[in-house]
């Protein structure tokens, strides 16, 4: 058996690579057909330029898909063993969140392959499904078929979504039945182990009417010097009066490309709290859509980004109001040092059938060096009357008087900077009701402030 499936095209993954990949999968016919449709759209999109509104500030010329390979089950097992990660054993992987809370379940993938899947017996008995997408399409195919890349992340959306839909590897599924509340958080980890590995993990969360859950996910690299590629997808689907707290902390090494398509849909009186942490990667671009589809639906979106060295971290966010009396509230805060760059392009879209919409978006950036750069571009598209939509963006440098004030009271310059940065992020921390996430972000920020230049 071949251990890897290598890309043979500088422009993208070729037909030969796709056929090899498809033949390595043991999947239901409906999944294979979805992949074929997605790959056909992917090849079409390769002949078209990327949407300039989303991509014109991002330089992808150094990304060569031919450098990366999809890892098969055999190669993943070898990588797991080399990393001290055996099936259903505790992982020997450096993480931010794994040890900070008691979790009701864990799903861990390495190089797109399942390493650990656990769920409490009590939740399983109540009908909760939590595990690997690769396994669950076999055992729960009829449950997942109406949702998987049908309502949120769609293969005909753009090049990245089609690429992901054709080649998705591992991924996490969370299904919570009607009126079931999951009190303890659940945990998911996506890791890259092999050098030049490509991961196409997909997260699918389905909350039926009245359900409630918290899912904390993070990404990481086992080796600081390995290059990697992540083309991910996230789908968050909330029924009426459902409540979801979803956190994703992106913490790849500084040699990994991160391209993600993420979408959430909220029905009548549902509530989605979505927190994104941007810490790692060489270049990261996240396309994030939140759609409020039912009357009274609410979404709160939080973002914390800390970029250093020559990192480029980009977000393209959209808050779409499709029903009356909906509310969205987005707050992204970014800290930049060295020669890093952060780009945020946000849009609030209010459709004709959505009167009494309340939409808000704000992005604040704090520059710790004169060579860092932040671009913030908010926007509104309103097609109905009787709405309240506002946006704002600020970019500024650290106030030297604040640093001097702190140092005059006995703090070192490092401690003063940490206090100022923590205060800058505190508004976002206060919106996150999960202590483990608050502590994790705070400690990650402190480590970032103390880092020298990485290779």
379-395 tens-digit pLDDT? 999 999 899 999 999 99
Burial class (CB in 10 A: 0-12, 13-18, 19+), 58: middle
If pLDDT is split at 50, 70 and 90, which confidence band does 8 have? very low
Give mean pLDDT, residues 79-107. 68
* Residue 266 pLDDT greater than 90, yes or no: yes
Q: What is the pLDDT of residue 53?
A: 92
pLDDT in tens, 115-174: 999 999 999 999 999 999 999 999 999 999 999 999 999 999 999 999 999 999 989 999
* Residue 38 pLDDT greater than 80, yes or no: yes
* Residue 244 pLDDT greater than 90, yes or no: yes
Output phi, psi for 31, to 5 deg: -70, -45
Query: How crowded is residue 47: how many other Cβ atoms within 10 Å of its Cβ?
Result: 8
Give me the residues paired with residue 335 across strands.
306, 366
* Residue 2 pLDDT greater than 70, yes or no: no
User: What DSSP string runs through 106-163?
Assistant: EEEEETTEEEEEEE-HHHHHTT-EEEEHHHHHHHSHHHHTTTTTTSSS-TTS-HHHHH
Whole-number Å distance between alpha carbons of 67 and 164:
17
If pLDDT is split at 50, 70 and 90, which confidence band does 453 have? very low
Q: What is the dihedral of CA 30, 36, 42, 44, to 10 degrees?
A: -120
Per the listing, tokens 């009274």 go with 296
* Residue 331 pLDDT greater than 80, yes or no: yes
Asked if residue 25 lies in contact with residue 282, where contact means CB atoms within 8 angstroms, the answer is no
Residue of higher predicted confidence among 6 and 255? 255
Whole-number Å distance between alpha carbons of 281 and 228:
9
Whole-number Å distance between alpha carbons of 57 and 285:
11
Whole-number Å distance between alpha carbons of 285 and 287:
7
Q: What is the pLDDT of residue 11?
A: 54
Whole-number Å distance between alpha carbons of 256 and 158:
22
What DSSP designation does 17 have? H
Query: How crowded is residue 227: how many other Cβ atoms within 10 Å of its Cβ?
Result: 18
Give mean pLDDT, residues 99-122. 92
What DSSP designation does 66 have? G
Whole-number Å distance between alpha carbons of 402 and 418:
12
Q: Where are the domains of the chain?
A: 2-398
Whole-number Å distance between alpha carbons of 372 and 336:
6
Strand-strand pairing, 4-6 and 69-71: antiparallel
Whole-number Å distance between alpha carbons of 282 and 83:
23
The sign of the CA dihedral 50, 56, 58, 63 is: positive
Give mean pLDDT, residues 170-191. 96
Strand-strand pairing, 312-321 and 341-350: parallel
Total-model pTM: 0.92
Q: What is the pLDDT of residue 443?
A: 85
Q: In this structure, what token pair is assigned to residue 380?
A: 């509104």
If pLDDT is split at 50, 70 and 90, which confidence band does 398 have? confident
Q: What is the pLDDT of residue 85?
A: 52
* Residue 276 pLDDT greater than 70, yes or no: yes
Output phi, psi for 74, to 5 deg: -65, -45
Q: What is the pLDDT of residue 288?
A: 97
Give mean pLDDT, residues 385-413. 88
User: What DSSP string runs through 60-85?
Assistant: -TT--GGG-EEE-HHHHHHHHHHTT-
Share of the chain above pLDDT 90, in %: 74
Asked if residue 74 lies in contact with residue 161, where contact means CB atoms within 8 angstroms, the answer is no
Nearest by Cα to 372 from 335, 339, 397, 398: 339
Q: What is the pLDDT of residue 31?
A: 95
* Residue 270 pLDDT greater than 60, yes or no: yes
User: What DSSP string runs through 367-425?
Assistant: ESSTT-EEEEE--EEE-SSS-EEEEEEEEEE--HHHHHHHHHTT--HHHHHHHHHHHHH
Q: What is the pLDDT of residue 306?
A: 95
Angle between helices 29-46 and 159-167 (to 10 degrees): 150
| Average pLDDT of the residues of the chain | 90
* Residue 418 pLDDT greater than 90, yes or no: no
């Amino acid at each position: 058996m071949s251990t890897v499936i290598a890309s043979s095209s500088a422009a993208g993954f070729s037909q030969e690579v796709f056929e090899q990949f498809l033949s390595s999968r043991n999947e239901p016919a409906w999944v294979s057909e979805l992949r074929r449709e997605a790959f056909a759209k992917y090849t079409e999109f390769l002949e078209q330029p990327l949407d300039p509104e989303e991509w014109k500030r991002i330089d992808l010329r150094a990304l060569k898909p031919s450098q990366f390979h999809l890892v098969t089950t055999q190669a993943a097992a070898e990588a797991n063993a080399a990393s001290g990660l055996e099936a259903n054993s505790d992982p020997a992987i450096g993480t931010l969140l794994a040890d900070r809370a008691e979790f009701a379940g864990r799903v861990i993938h390495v190089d797109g392959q399942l390493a650990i899947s656990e769920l409490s017996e009590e939740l399983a008995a109540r009908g909760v499904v939590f595990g690997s997408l690769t396994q669950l399409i076999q055992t729960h195919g009829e449950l997942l078929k109406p949702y998987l890349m049908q309502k949120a992340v769609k293969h005909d959306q753009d090049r990245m979504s089609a690429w992901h839909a054709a080649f998705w590897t591992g991924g996490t599924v969370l299904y919570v039945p009607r009126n079931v509340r999951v009190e303890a958080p659940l945990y998911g980890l996506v890791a890259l182990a092999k050098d030049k590995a490509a991961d196409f993990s997909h997260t699918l969360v389905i909350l039926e009417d009245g359900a409630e859950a918290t899912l904390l996910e993070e990404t990481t690299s086992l080796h600081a010097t390995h290059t990697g590629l992540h083309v991910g997808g996230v789908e968050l689907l909330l029924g009426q009066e459902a409540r979801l707290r979803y956190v994703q902390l992106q913490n790849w090494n500084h040699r990994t490309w991160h391209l993600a398509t993420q979408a959430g849909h909220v029905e009548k009186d549902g509530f989605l709290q979505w927190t994104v942490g941007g810490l790692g990667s060489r270049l990261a671009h996240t396309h994030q859509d939140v759609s409020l589809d039912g009357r009274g639906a609410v979404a709160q979106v939080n973002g914390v980004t800390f970029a250093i060295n020559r990192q480029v971290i980009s977000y393209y966010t959209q808050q779409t109001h499709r029903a009356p009396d909906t509310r969205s509230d987005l707050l992204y805060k970014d800290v930049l040092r060295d020669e890093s760059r952060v780009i945020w392009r946000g849009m609030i879209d209010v459709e004709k059938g959505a009167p009494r919409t309340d939409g808000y978006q704000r992005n604040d950036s704090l520059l710790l060096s004169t060579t860092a750069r932040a671009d913030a571009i908010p926007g509104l598209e309103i097609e109905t009357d009787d709405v309240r939509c506002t946006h704002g963006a600020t970019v500024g440098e650290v106030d030297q008087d604040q640093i001097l004030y702190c140092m005059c009271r006995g703090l070192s310059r490092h401690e003063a900077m940490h206090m100022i940065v923590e205060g800058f992020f505190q508004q976002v921390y206060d919106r996150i009701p999960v202590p483990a996430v608050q502590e994790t972000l705070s400690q990650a920020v402190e480590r970032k402030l103390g880092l020298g230049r990485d290779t």
